[in-house]
Amino acid sequence: MAKKAAAASSASSSDSLGSGTKLVIVESPTKAKTIRKFLGKDFIVESCMGHVRDLPQSSKDIPEKVKKEKWAQLGVNVDKNFEPLYCIPKDKTKVIKNLKDKLEEADVLYLATDEDREGESISWHLQEVLKPRIPTKRMVFHEITKEAIQKSLSQTREIDYNLVRAQEARRILDRLVGYTISPLLWKKVAYGLSAGRVQSVAVRLIVEREKERIRFKKSNYYGLTAYLDKGGESFEAKLLTVDQKRVATGKDFDGLTGQLNAGKDLLVLDSKTAQSLASKVQAAQWKVTEVEEKPVHRKPYAPFITSTLQQEANRKLGMSSRETMQVAQKLYEQGFITYMRTDSTSLSQEAIQAARTAISEKYGKEYLPAQPRLYDNKKVKGAQEAHECIRPAGTHFQDPDDTGLTGPQAKLYELIWKRTMASQMTDSRQKQVSAKLSADNTIFNATGTTIEFPGFLRAYVEGSDDPEADLESREVRLPQLKQNDSVKPQKMEPTAHETKPPARFTEASLVQTMEKEGIGRPSTYASVIGTIIDRGYVKKMGNALIPTFTAMVVSKLLANHLTQYVDLGFTSEMENSLDEIADGELDWESYLASVYHGKKGLRSLVAEEEGNINPEEARTIKLDGLDKYEFHVGKYGAYVKTQRGEESFSASIPDAEAPADVTSDTIEKLIEQKIKGADSLGVDPKTGKKIYVLNGRYGAYVQLGENDDEEIKRSTLPPGMDPTAVNYEMALEILALPKSLGTNPGNGKDIKAGVGRFGPYVVCDGDYRSIPKTESVFTMNLEKALALFAIPKKGRGKAAALKEFGKHPQFDIEVSLFNGPYGPYLKAGKTNVGLPEGVTADTITKEKAFELMNEKLAEAGTKGKKGAKKATKTLKKAAKPAEKAEALGVKKVITKKKK
């Protein structure tokens, strides 16, 4: 564990920087590049590329001297003070060597990793690995600006060993839980499954929501909307009461069961009653019985913290939590925003002044409150170390239009900028008008809202991309209404409704729930959600998170046998304990011992429960309302079993089928298809073979030939096509895919259209393009395909160069300029270099391009023609299958041999 290095000393805020060479170590090359701009020639800024040590990831990482120890695979000696076995990954040996070489040149070492627990831990690991014999100082900052960097150099501190112990305890705790429970899942469910400490709870939340949807029984009810006229102005009113009995609306039904809440005397309208009422009130006299006006003030939202940024980026920009944090990390490292892992809503005085100046210039003084707004830093469960909120960096907030950012970075920066602006703007003032209207024995209600002064809504509306458009949609104007006024009925419209099951979690709502319950930490949410998707426990359908049958099975096993490890309260208490370690209030070793050892500890609990778990039962679940079916998880995915008389039948469940969406009709069709085989649509005129539409694990497809034929052709159905709607002619068209569209006049190669795993596409000589949703693979022709190829390829795949500069005179390798998601960059073989500030795609010259590539090519070891040719040859060899896979949207191509 962490021990203070006697050789390391820290400067106080009054220390002089002194003379000599100073080595500054940060986590990433981007961060290093940004910081170099603010430091003088006496500073060497290097990147350690993240963590330099970790617990062993496989048996290859374990040193020979401890390989035979019982605890070696675990990587933690649980019987000796929970001593961790730290290893330096192979890909970090060159990094460590470089840092040691640079350390030889330095007189002072500055550890400048992030100021959270993980950053503190990285600094400690660097100190342990490098063993510096020169003064070592810890410099911290929450934004990368010249002022912040200069200030941090003069206000260094020692490594905070409480933070280091808390991070180590978290890492060890995660290892103990994962490596103790996962082998149990391998034995009882399926090999390769895993059970992370926080991931398991997140999966349980998603599974429980799916169960709620399964138990839900929808109810139907009707309402009545009246379209009325007053002095030539039209407005709407909703039916409120009939014979003084209130009409049931959506809020009167239980959100979990879908049934009407008990104990309320309400009128539930059906279609016939609603139609009858509509005819009756259409002919009645309408009169205004009551009018109420009231002012409404809305205060702005607090600035972003980690969790709220993830939620809003998901809602507004469609970004996943992982993508949000990756983009935010880039913005921070380039000096655009403050540190993005924080639970603090505070703004510094300098930031408040910067926001007020920007508001006054951009929106006008009427949007500026008399006094700055201060936000209470409410201590959420286990808040991280206090920083400022997430805001634009510096003492002058750069306008989004002036940053030069593009793509996701530009969108996220603008979101952060607007939220920060709004947090210091005036309240929104609105007027709400409510009117009651009588017609025969009924009362209708009309409501209107007018915005008298938009205030902060001018800059930012939560969940909306366009504040101006959203302001318009929020206004519902009523005509001038007074008590006893008469109004004319224009049209009555009965409205059918049905109760909706609880909404599935999105990444935004899952983050919100996890934060509320104190599960994990906001800084880990992105990796938690990414992990449960990557490991096949959860899939995304649109924005919804849907559990797989594997998740249902694993969650059931953990809930039945290791209850506390998927319990929200228990997991939250674990986080609180880690916070106490960080505050120096709890001994890390005693805490880990209490969790792992003893009669109620993790080790003994798993050993005891292992004998109580029947593997066949563990792999099986039943769903409410489908009692005669058993759902199993097998080696090749989920399948369903049912008994018919004395015989048992089973069928595979397509991966795309969500547990809550499975019906008895779906299952019966799958089983019937398995028993009888699908009915043939007809015979292929060319081969004489029968044509079928079948369902498989990966969805519906058309098959040419019988299952026992030597040659069978299968073609995936295009996305969105209903298998039951496929007829003989359509099946022939699908089997003809990929079809030739004609010859590309540009290169003389054939262009084809087809459907792959990731949707419809056109391809020419290995160059793929996705067919847009507005088109169909069946309607594609040569003209439309050529138009798609004429559009420059974005993102992944082989993009066209903006400029070609020819071969580098020293390294004999082609240098080109490309446009990437984060702006223009130079490329030579596998080496990329971003354009520095002040250099654009239009102004860069050949000489400047070669100059910028010099250092990077030298670091890459591409020296001389021989090295360059070897690198180019390797690049070409690796690129061909990768480009094809990337063009199809595949991140990695894996080929498995059949057993």
Provide the CATH number for the domain around residue 654: 1.10.460.10
Same domain for 667 and 531: yes
Q: Which of 27, 572, 522 is nearest to 304 (CA)?
A: 522
Structure tokens of 566? 């998927």
Question: Which CB contacts under 8 angstroms, 24+ apart, belong to 743-746?
Answer: 744/786, 744/789, 745/786, 746/789
Judge whether 16 lies within some domain: no
Among 399, 426, 453, residue at a domain's last position:
426
Same domain, 881 and 821: yes
Identify the domain containing residue 139 by its residue range: 22-53+88-159
Residues 337 and 403 in one domain: yes
d(CA 270, CA 149): 69
> Both tokens of residue 368?
């500026």
Residues 200 and 256 grouped into a single domain: no
- Does 729 lie in the same domain as 659? no
26 and 111 share a domain?
yes
Within-domain flag for 693: yes
Instruction: Determine contact, residues 392/398, Cβ cutoff 8 Å.
Output: yes
Q: What amino acid is encoded at 400 in this protein? A: P
Question: Are 318 and 374 members of one domain?
Answer: yes
Q: For residue 395, is it within any domain?
A: yes
Tell me the catalytic residues.
Answer: 339
Q: Are 322 and 530 in contact (CB under 8 A)?
A: yes
Q: Please tell me the predicted confidence (pLDDT) of residue 822.
A: 53
368 with 314, same domain: the answer is yes
Name the one residue in this structure whose structure tokens are 């950012």.
Answer: 405
Sheet of 629-634: strand order equals: 620-621, 629-634, 637-644, 647-652
CATH code of the domain in which 325 resides: 1.10.290.10
Instruction: Give me the pLDDT at residue 821, please.
Output: 53
pLDDT at 377: 65
- Does 840 map to a domain? yes
Which residue in 831, 830, 835 sits closest to 819, CA to CA? 835
Cα 733 from chain centroid? 38
What pLDDT score does 677 carry?
A: 62
Boundary (domain end) residue, out of 426, 451, 468:
426
pLDDT at 16: 46
Q: Report the DSSP pairing between strands 22-26 and 108-111.
A: parallel
Indicate the SS3 state at residue 375.
Answer: coil
- Beta-sheet pairing, 136-138 with 108-111: parallel
Look at residue 112 in the predicted model and tell me its pLDDT. Answer: 95
> Which residues of the chain register pLDDT less than 50?
1-16, 379-386, 469, 795-798, 862-899
Q: What is the CATH number of the domain that holds 96?
A: 3.40.50.140
* Inter-helix orientation angle 161-188/568-582, to 10°: 150
Residue 76 in domain: no
Residue 482: which CATH number? 2.70.20.10
d(CA 613, CA 557): 8
Q: What is the C-alpha to C-alpha distance for residues 327 and 398, in angstroms, rounded to an integer?
A: 18
Collect all residues with Cβ–Cβ distance below 8 Å to 378 and sequence separation of at least 6. 345
Are both 645 and 569 inside the same structural domain? yes
Q: What gap in Å lies between CA 207 and CA 276, rounded to an integer? A: 44
Q: Got the DSSP string for 189-231?
A: T-TT----TTHHHHHHHHHHHHHHHHH----EEEEEEEEEEET
Say if 61 falls within a structural domain. Answer: no
- Alpha-helical regions (H) of 695-837: 728-735, 782-790
Torsion of CA 116, 122, 124, 128, to 10 degrees: 180
DSSP calls for 850-886:
HHHHHHHHHHTT--HHHHHHHHHHHHHHHHHHHHHHH
> Which positions ≥6 away from 377 have C-beta within 8 Å?
344, 345, 346, 383, 386
Tokens at residue 2, please? 């962490």
The verdict on 404 and 321 lying in the same domain is yes
Check residue 873 and give its pLDDT.
Answer: 41
629-634 and 637-644: which strand pairing? Answer: antiparallel
What token pair was written down for 332?
């921070």
CA 417 – CA 392 distance, rounded (Å): 6
Residue 679: alpha-carbon gap to chain centroid: 42
For residue 738, is the peptide bond before it cis, meaning its omega torsion is within 30 degrees of 0? Answer: yes
Q: What are phi and psi of 784, to 5 degrees?
A: -65, -40
Among 57, 4, 49, which residue's Cα sits nearest to residue 29?
49
Residue 899 in any domain: the answer is no
Report residue 612 as tokens. 């109580």
Q: What is the pLDDT of residue 245?
A: 94
**What does the pLDDT read at residue 842?**
67
Q: How many domains does the chain have?
A: 7
pLDDT for 758 equals 72
Last residue of a domain, one of 483, 498, 513: 498
- Mapping DSSP onto H, E and C, the string for 536-580 reads CCEEEECCEEEECHHHHHHHHHHHHHCHHHHCHHHHHHHHHHHHH
Whether residue 621 sits in one domain with residue 556? yes
Q: Are 326 and 339 in a shared domain?
A: yes
The alpha carbon of residue 537 and the mean position of all alpha carbons in its chain are separated, in whole angstroms, by: 15
The answer to whether residue 179 is domain-embedded is yes
Give DSSP secondary structure letters for 672-715.
Answer: HHHHH-PPP-EE-TTT--EEEEEEETTEEEEEES-TTSS--EEE
State the burial class of residue 50 (Cβ atoms within 10 Å of its Cβ: 0-12, 13-18, 19+).
Answer: middle
- Give the position of tokens 């200069």: 150
